[in-house]
Amino acid sequence: NDQELLRGKKVLVTAGGTVERIDPVRYLTNDSSGKMGFAIAEAAHLMGADVTLVMGKTSAMPPEGIRTVKVESTQQMLDAVVARLREMDVVVKAAAVADYRPVEQAEQKIKKKEEAMILQLVKNPDILQTIGSMKTSQFIIGFAAETENIDEYALDKLKRKNCDLLVANDVTQEGAGFGTDTNVVRIYDGSGLVEALPVMTKREVARQLLILTVQRMKKGERAN
Ligand code: PMT
């Protein structure tokens, strides 16, 4: 019976891709559908949590009955997450965040010219790293979309961004990553690989991940 597992806990989940405007009609984004984050928000809700879903650009339907906050840019997602961080028990960063944004957002549609166009980009803040450095008692779960060296890159992200768990998906694998209803994930903590799950629905991945989270939060409470 899952219904009580997260009762009384506040969970924030980010889903979808952030959007960085070039001008009023053009933007940079990525292929995130929101499905992974939606599955986590729904699973947390079914476990009794008070869930807030911060969503960027998505193509799937968000779960019903969950508080949602819509954002567009990485900066807006950062602000939405940071503003709520203090009150949260768990934060799950399943969103695919744009690492760069155009230096300028043109107020008018950019006109086509004869010569080539160079779009200059600046680095965005890293939301996960920011909240990782601010965290007090929150249990923070990061994601990593990788195409190679998955263990090495995932563990590096977990440490750099100060997460409690990191979920890596090799997005080149069949049935994994962007847009699909399934995923293939490897879950890490500070000491290494915790679980390598076979291909399963994003809903099942979400449930497994939250069960691990509940177990770890219980251990943490006992240790204090
Ligand atoms: O939405 P779906 O179609 O279901 O696809 C799911 C998914 C592939 C998007 C999801 O499973 C996933 O892997 N999400 C993270 C994608 C990503 O941005 O990975 P990354 O390795 O670039 O970033 C690592 C972590 O840092 C992520 O938790 C990301 O949210 C966070 N990050 C990254 C950059 C940035 N500027 N700020 C961040 O917070």
Report CA(61)–ligand 1 centroid distance (Å): 19
> Is residue 1 in a domain?
no
Binding residues for CTP: 99, 109, 125-128, 143, 157, 161
Full residue range of the structural domain in which residue 185 is found: 10-105+118-223
CA–CA gap between residue 9 and residue 183 (Å, rounded): 26
Q: What's the pTM?
A: 0.97
ipTM of this predicted complex?
0.98
The number of folded domains in the chain is 1
Q: What is the CATH number of the domain that holds 96?
A: 3.40.50.10300
> Is residue 111 in a domain?
no
Per-run averaged pLDDT (10 residues), the chain, 224 residues: 94 98 98 98 98 98 97 98 98 98 96 94 98 96 97 97 97 96 97 96 98 94 72
> Is residue 76 in a domain?
yes
Q: Judge whether 40 and 209 are in contact, CB under 8 Å.
A: yes
CA–CA gap between residue 79 and residue 91 (Å, rounded): 14
